[in-house]
Amino acid sequence: MTISYKNTVKHTLKPSLHPYLNGAWTPNFDELTATDLEVIGTIPSDIDGVYIRNTENPVHEAIGHYHPFDGDGMLHAMVFKDGKVEYRNRFVRTKGFDAEQEAGEAIWAGIANNPKKSKRPGWGAQGYLKDASSTDVVVHAGQVLSTFWQCGDGYRLDPFTLEQHGAERWTPLDGISAHPKVDERSGEMLFFNYSTYPPYQHYGVVDSDNKLVHYTPVPTPGPRLPHDMAFTENYSILVDLPMFWNPTLLEQGKYHAEYHPELPTRFAILPRYGTAGDAIWFEASPTYVLHWMNAYEDGDEIILDGYFQDDPDPAPLPGLPPAAGKMMANIDLCSLKTRLHRWRFNLKTGEVKEQHLDERALEFGTFNQRYAGIKSRYLYSVWNEPGMFLFSGMVKHDLETGDSWELPFGEQRYGSEAPFAPRINAKDEDDGYLVSFITDMKADRSECVLIDAKDIEAGPVCRIILPHRISSGTHATWADGQSIRAYQNP
């Protein structure tokens, strides 16, 4: 292994028994660039692109309670080409990160704290949090875009080198939520944001040249907490979910989310370049949904898949202090009882049909992004370690036949969201690899694994040993190398 770059970021974090500050969630402070990595097996030569995962990685002692979604954004990237690979990781140099580096301490209180404890105003949807840019990551117009779940600036980096390009210049006043969607066929990126003041939600389109070309309000009845969106060839899908801030407490500056099972889940389906007046609203069973999968048009219907929560407001996990038990239950897929689910919306009649597609607790799914917005057959989900936000294995679904296949990661081996990487000259939808980081607590190391998407039960095709054990995190993406180079070298 050759390390060509190393930087240790200034930090004040102390060793902790907090479940999301130790074990597989132990933060990293070293930024590295490494080549000539140890490989178990052989790196395929028919893969060209970059796998990037975002991570909540705090560098300073928290003000009050630490929630895992408060951590600073750190990107980990694997660049594959010609059977070779490079690894690098970098913090996202957000305005908040730079300010706290200069101060040498935390300035902003996290989501589980009184916002009055923050020493400066914040950003985004609530105006009190640090915009950590630590939730999601996509590649659009040849550049990485990292985003924050509570809305923020969005930050651009080079996908091959992770060179920092700063905050996105077209970002609206209300920011960008996590989970903007890239349509690989058109090159467009669709996004939304939300806030605590009217009209509470906006929707926008950025073209293939990274120019904001459409931005419009899609109002909701009050402040809401959407987390994701979906799209088809001609439509975008936004949601009004019955889990949102308590309005009375919000007036007092306190942010406490409550579930309202008496309210329906509402879906706004509007043309890609439509406005609120074009939206068709549908009502469905109450739930909360973190992540939607693919959506597509089928005659008069739109079909949407996602992860329905049977219990969006679970009881605290036993054996822990109430605050910690509640926090961990709210990010434990087993407690939330997340189920793969399908909604069918009839654009002519307004009828909604829905059903569970699987009774296992699954989430954080991926699919071949070349099929985003059109009918797709295969979906890849993960399950978590009960009681912890750690992924213990994956499931491949054939949505046409109903068949499924499982791959456990192994004892004390925890994976990442695993995007699909098409083979060069791929012949069909599942002709490619699933890419994931695995943290092996027994071996005290992390690996990047490639799994043949046609046969996940066979396990990894290769395992690439990373130069350090990395912290667990949330979302990841795959981007085609040839497409990136076409943008960077037109």
pLDDT tens for each residue of 122-167: 875 556 789 999 999 999 999 999 999 999 999 999 999 999 999 9
Can you give the pLDDT at residue 478? Answer: 98
**Structurally, how many domains does the chain consist of?**
1
Mean pLDDT for 53-58 is 97
pLDDT of 204 strictly over 80? yes
Can you give the pLDDT at residue 250? Answer: 82
pLDDT of 200 strictly over 60? yes
Can you give the pLDDT at residue 467? Answer: 98
d(CA 476, CA 51): 7
What pLDDT, in 10s, does the model give residues 329-378?
888 999 999 999 999 999 999 999 999 999 999 999 999 999 999 999 99
What is the domain range of residue 297?
2-488
Can you give the pLDDT at residue 111? Answer: 85
Can you give the pLDDT at residue 125? Answer: 56
What pLDDT, in 10s, does the model give residues 298-326?
999 999 999 999 999 999 988 777 766 78
Can you give the pLDDT at residue 114? Answer: 80
Can you give the pLDDT at residue 128? Answer: 77
pLDDT of 391 strictly over 90? yes
Can you give the pLDDT at residue 4? Answer: 96
d(CA 265, CA 298): 22
**Which residues is 270 bridged to in the sheet?**
236
pLDDT of 32 strictly over 70? yes
Q: How confident is the model at residue 327 (pLDDT cuts 50, 70, 90)?
A: confident
Q: In what order do the strands lie in the sheet with 265-271?
A: 230-231, 235-240, 265-271, 280-284
Can you give the pLDDT at residue 307? Answer: 98
What pLDDT, in 10s, does the model give residues 247-289?
888 887 777 889 999 999 999 999 999 999 999 999 999 999 9
